[in-house]
Amino acid sequence: MAAERAHGPIGVFDSGFGGLNILAALRDLLPSEDLVYFGDSARSPYGSRPADEVVRFSLEIGRWLVDEAGSKLVVVGCNTASAVALDALRAELAVPVIGVVGAGARAARRCVGSGRVGVIGTERTIASGAYQRALADDAGVAVACPGLVEFVEAGQTTGPAVRAVIADRLAPVVDAGVEVLLLGCTHYPYLAREIQAVVGEQVTLVSPAEEAAFEVAQRLGADGLARSGAVGSLRVACSGDPVVFREIGGRLFPGELGAIEQVPVEALECRRTRSA
């Protein structure tokens, strides 16, 4: 059974483009694995949506990744979806599910000394309290940063306008004097230069992507699902316009995305079951 399942790809999903940073980390760490990425670009952003809606969308995509794409493991690359939908996904899907919240909190806790870990994320991620719970005793200030995702998707990752908004949103982080700042949103690593300039060099910035990829590697090894040998394939699908996905995703992903498939929202909604 494990040998059969080991042939499947690793499925990764995000509300849109941001999870491409986790896809890149997986490709670098696990070059022999086939990867399938789903970006829900027609319904992005998730960060200001109600939790039950994010759970519903996540379940639809999880089912697509497992039933249609044959994934042997699912990575929830979206912080918002990890924060609110991880338990539902684990209850529903018959494959291991790994989220970025646990990975990010673990990486941040490893970096912190006597100080605290601040976390920034979308409104829904911060309101869920998921990072704060995962950081436990190390948790410091937690701040929602609306507006930053839009800058990244517009290709604006540096400059005075971006820095002014970051300085405004991160004022409570600066006031709290955290030792480590966890970038709890897929898009924030693209703004790391400006975030670092605002919080100061003494603050260590941590992003969950690499740690999540290590967790995947460990889990595949433990379950006998790892592949070795030839370079794996990449399949990319999105719910929105594939031309727009290529345009924005191509800027964020260091490599060739290949042909981008469109899976319309209606095709995902067909995958609803009694639990959604």
Catalytic residues: 78, 185
Residues of span 219-258 touching ligand DGL by CB under 6 A: none
Asked if 122 touches ligand DGL (CB under 6 A), the answer is yes
> Among 73-81, 128-136, 209-217, 226-234, which window interacts with ligand DGL (CB under 6 A)?
73-81
Describe the strand order of the beta sheet including 10-14 as a list of residue ranges: 97-99, 73-76, 10-14, 35-39, 234-238, 260-262
What's the one-letter identity of residue 187? H
- Contact residue for ligand DGL among 25, 93, 139, 149 (CB under 6 A): 149
Closest residue to ligand DGL, based on beta-carbon distance: 47
Closest CA to 174 of 197, 198, 190: 198
Residue 248: partners with Cβ closer than 8 Å, 6 or more residues away: 16, 17, 153, 155
Which of these ranges, 120-128, 156-164, 231-239, 254-262, lies near ligand DGL under the rule CB under 6 A? 120-128
Q: For residues 183 and 164, what is the distance between their CA atoms, to the nearest angstrom? A: 18
- Is 80 annotated in a binding site? The answer is yes
Q: Could you tell me which residues come within 8 angstroms of residue 221 by beta carbon, excluding any fewer than 6 positions away?
A: none
Go through 56-94 and write b for each residue having 16 or more CB atoms within 10 A of its CB, e for each that does not: bbbbbbbbbbbebbebbbbbbbbbbbbbbbbebbbebbe
Q: Which stretch binds ligand DGL (CB under 6 A): 75-83, 128-136, 204-212, 252-260?
A: 75-83
Q: Which is nearer to ligand DGL, 44 or 204 (CB)?
A: 44
Rule CB under 6 A: is residue 80 a binding residue for ligand DGL?
A: yes
Under rule CB under 6 A, residue 128 binds ligand DGL: no
Residues making contact with ligand DGL (CB under 6 A): 14-16, 18, 44-47, 78-80, 121-122, 125, 149, 185-187
Specify binding-site residues for substrate.
14-15, 46-47, 79-80, 186-187
